[in-house]
């Protein structure tokens, strides 16, 4: 595994953890209703990132296909999170944007 792949796997792992922390924190906010779309996208994002970690590390022939979905979902999640003032949302938007940026390198 080369340095580029290590960087991508690190960004994906960070995105998985940060999205799940945001999912957890959103469910404990006073106004959960206003966080519903964030909760949904946090789940979507952490799951496609997990799939991509696994695909990259087993040298799948579908890395590019999954990376396209992953970049798109990370960007949608970052957009939603950046609408909210909570620290966990800001941190999540940042992790998702970083993840989208590095995963774009995987797209042929």
Binding of residue 59 to a copy of itself (CB under 8 A): yes
| Binding segment (CB under 8 A) for a copy of itself, from list 66-74, 81-89, 91-99, 100-108 | 66-74
Which residues lie below 8 Å from residue 99, measured CB to CB, with a gap of 6+? 11, 12, 14, 15, 49, 70, 74
Residue 53 makes contact with a copy of itself by CB under 8 A:
yes
The H or E element spanning position 107 is none
CA distances from 86 to 16, 27, 94, 106 (A): 18, 12, 13, 31
Residues near a copy of itself (CB under 8 A): 1, 9, 13, 16-17, 20-21, 23-24, 27-28, 30, 32-33, 36-37, 39-41, 43-44, 46-48, 50-51, 53-55, 57-62, 65-66, 68-69, 72-73, 76
């Amino acid at each position: 595994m080369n340095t580029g792949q290590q960087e991508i796997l690190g960004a994906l792992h960070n995105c998985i953890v940060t999205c799940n922390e945001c999912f957890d924190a959103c469910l404990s906010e006073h106004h959960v209703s206003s966080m519903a779309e964030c909760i949904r996208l946090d789940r979507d994002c952490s799951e496609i990132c997990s799939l991509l970690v696994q695909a990259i590390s087993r040298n799948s022939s579908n890395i590019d296909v999954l990376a396209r979905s992953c970049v798109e979902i990370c960007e949608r999640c970052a957009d939603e999170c950046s609408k909210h003032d909570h620290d966990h949302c800001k941190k999540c938007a940042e992790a998702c944007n970083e993840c989208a940026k590095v995963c774009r390198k995987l797209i042929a």
